[in-house]
Structure 1
Amino acid sequence: MRRLATKLRPLFPLLLLPALAGCALFTAQPRYRGTAVTEAQLKQLTPGVSTEADATALLGSPTLRETFHDHDWLYVSQVTKPRIGQTLGVEKQQVVVLDFTGNGVLKSIRRVGGKQAVHVAMAGGRTHAPGGHASFLQQLVGGVGHYNPGLGAGSAGGLGGGSGF
């Protein structure tokens, strides 16, 4: 028996390959979001010549427009992948900014990468909204007076039977 185990020891990694290949079936697939803009598409746009209508026809509607400068169009695309706890991790992100003049003529094209990104931390506090916190007594008697005979017992619409249509 020991001889057989000794002879099979070099084959052990090969026996594990089918099991490891099966693990690939359970890996999360990447999700593609937004509007991916290719270099070929950007070469078709010429600053000083192309218009907002040209950009819309070629790339579609922008993902968003800058808040304080409506003539800056942003095309954002992301490749995300679920991670532990079902949170999405960004694998790759691309942002293309088309800057137009007030007349709708393309002024410039630029890409914004990870080095130009500004990371903003979320505030740790809570914003309390009015309502939403009912006391035990409010929860206990909250449904009194809200009886709807149309729900249940085979009657539809609460009009003494029939279809209600």
Structure 2
Amino acid sequence: MPQFSRHSRRGRILIAIGLGALLVGTSACTRIRTHQGYQVDKLLVDSVQPGIDNRASVEGTLGRPSFVSQFGEKDWYYVSRDMRALAFSSPKPVDQTILRVRFDPAGNVVAVDRMGLEKVANISPMGATTPTLGRHRSLFDEIFGNIGAVGAAGMGGGSGGGAGGGPNGS
């Protein structure tokens, strides 16, 4: 009988260690959720009306935009994105809202457009090098390729003429 209780105690300890490892393992693989950018309030966004609102009323309702179009102040953008990652993996977008408010030259709202995840671009680099245009040169071409080019015409060498150098240049 004493042997049976000793084995059951050992079994309980092993079960406790296994459960502890399972709990630690699952907590390390917790999904991480983050929100970036503008907090979209559907009621406020729906209250912006073309032909009624202007820049001042949109700023009062929605706040300052995430960014403004680069060429003039025609469009205001409000960007909101929810991301999710598992432990140490790269975060992936789960939900995205891009709200574009377009203005006319007088500053009145012309249109309010909504876009989602379809605007997320997945850029996947190929290989370890970036392809470039131009000549493919070896290491030796790079090192020894300019021999004889120093002082050649059109290469900026010391071949007379030009601005500021000689008696006719100044």
TM-score (norm 1): 0.55
Question: Is 2:32 aligned against 1:29?
Answer: yes
Give the drift of 1:120. 6.0
Matched with 1:90 is 93
2:121 aligns with: 119
Tell me the secondary structure at the aligned position of residue 35 of structure 2: strand
Give the AA of the match of 1:119. A
The answer (yes or no) to whether the contact 1:36–1:94 under 8 Å persists in 2 is: no
C-alpha distance after superposition, 1:49-78 (max 9, x if no partner): 111111111211111123345311111111
Between the two proteins, the alignment pairs up a number of residues equal to 116
Classify the secondary structure of the residue corresponding to 1:50: coil
| Structure 1 vs Structure 2 CA RMSD | 3.4
Aligned position for 2:74: 71
CA distance 1:83–1:46, shift in 2 (3 Å)? same
When residues 49 and 24 of structure 1 are mapped into structure 2, their CA distance, relative to the original with a 3 A threshold, is farther
1:51 pairs with 44, 54, 65, which one? 54
What is the distance in 2 between the residues matched to 1:34 and 1:43? Answer: 19
Q: For residue 30 of structure 1, report the CA deviation from its aligned partner.
A: 0.8
SS of 2:32's equivalent?
A: coil
Task: Name the amino acid aligned to 1:101.
Answer: D
Matched residue type, 1:63: S
**Residue 117 of structure 2 aligns to a residue in which SS?**
coil
Runs (4 or more) in structure 1 with deviation over 4 Å come to 18-24
1:121 is aligned with what amino acid? I
Deviations 1:23-57 (A, max 9, x none): 66441331111002222002221211111111111
Could you tell me which amino acid in structure 2 is paired with residue 102 of structure 1?
P
2:51 & 2:38 partners in 1: Cα distance?
A: 23
Greater C-alpha radius of gyration: 2
- 2:122, 2:72 → 1: CA distance? 21
Match of 1:133 in 2: none
SS in 2 for 1:41: helix
Counterpart amino acid of residue 121 in structure 2: H
1:2-34 residue CA offsets vs partner (Å, 9 max, x unmatched): xxxxxxxxxxxxxx7x98676664413311110
Structure 2, gaps ≥5 residues long: 5-18, 133-170
Q: Is the alpha carbon distance of 1:40 and 1:20 closer, same or farther for their aligned partners in structure 2, counting shifts above 3 Å?
A: farther
The gaps in structure 1 that reach 5 residues or longer are 2-15, 128-165
Distance (whole Å) between structure 1 residues aligned to residue 40 and residue 67 of structure 2: 14
Taking the aligned partners of 1:20 and 1:58, their CA distance within structure 2 comes to: 49
Q: Which amino acid aligns with 2:37?
A: G
